[in-house]
Amino acid sequence: MNFVEPIRDPGKIEDMKRLLLQQSNRNYFLFVMGINTGLRISDLLPRTVREVKGKSHLLIIEKKTGKRKKFKLNAELREEISQYTTGKDSDDYLFGSTKNPRPITRVRAYQIINGAGRRLGLTEIGTHTLRKTFGYHFYQRTRDIATLQMIFNHSHPAITLRYIGITQDIIDEAIDRFSL
């Protein structure tokens, strides 16, 4: 498994949205849903229209942990969901494959996200970038590591800070300010 980073630059996030929208609504929505929920790709891909359309919360059982998770869908994401699901059947997968009646695979999701990132000059980009991007920007806006730790179900704040790249940012800034 490759190490990936969050997308720290809001301009690059907008660039990713534009590029993915040029590819398809599905690819765009995968990115938007991922960076606005912080869910793992394994928890995003199997979601159906029924689970999100007209809902205020997403209720899932996390694949990795087996734990029940209830996640609030913010107003902007609910609007994106409404637009994206218009005309879709309630049993349709949100991220359906064009080749079979199943959702796209983790590998295909990686190809989509990594390919778009590389076209924009981003490195260390993968499906987990979506989750880390959510966490990084949630922390930057709120400085609420305790809530983010609960959202991610991490056992310690230091794990969450390292996970979203804040620990590395702090180290880099300290080294930039240090000189003998």
Q: Which residues are CB-neighbours of 70 under 8 A, at least 6 positions away?
A: 57, 58, 59
| Active-site residue flag, 50 | no
Known catalytic residue: 156?
no
Structure tokens at 152: 């991610």
Q: Which amino acid is at 118?
A: R
Our answer to whether residue 40 is catalytic in this structure is yes
Active site residue 128: yes
Tokens of 10: 């809001």
**Which of the residues 28, 84, 110, 163 is marked catalytic?**
163
User: Alpha-carbon distance 129 to 127, whole Å?
Assistant: 5
Catalytic residue among 131, 132, 136, 139: 131
Q: Is 137 a catalytic residue?
A: no
Q: Cβ distance 112 to 98 under 8 Å? A: no
121 DSSP assignment:
T
DSSP strands (E only) in 64-109: 68-72
Three-state DSSP class for residue 175: helix
Tell me which of 64, 67, 141, 177 is the catalytic residue.
64
> Considering 47, 128, 132, 137, which one is annotated as catalytic?
128
φ and ψ of 95, to 5 deg: -120, 55
Calculate Rg over the CA atoms of the chain: 17
Q: Which of 26, 28, 40, 136 is catalytic?
A: 40
Which residues are part of the catalytic machinery? 40, 64, 128, 131, 154, 163
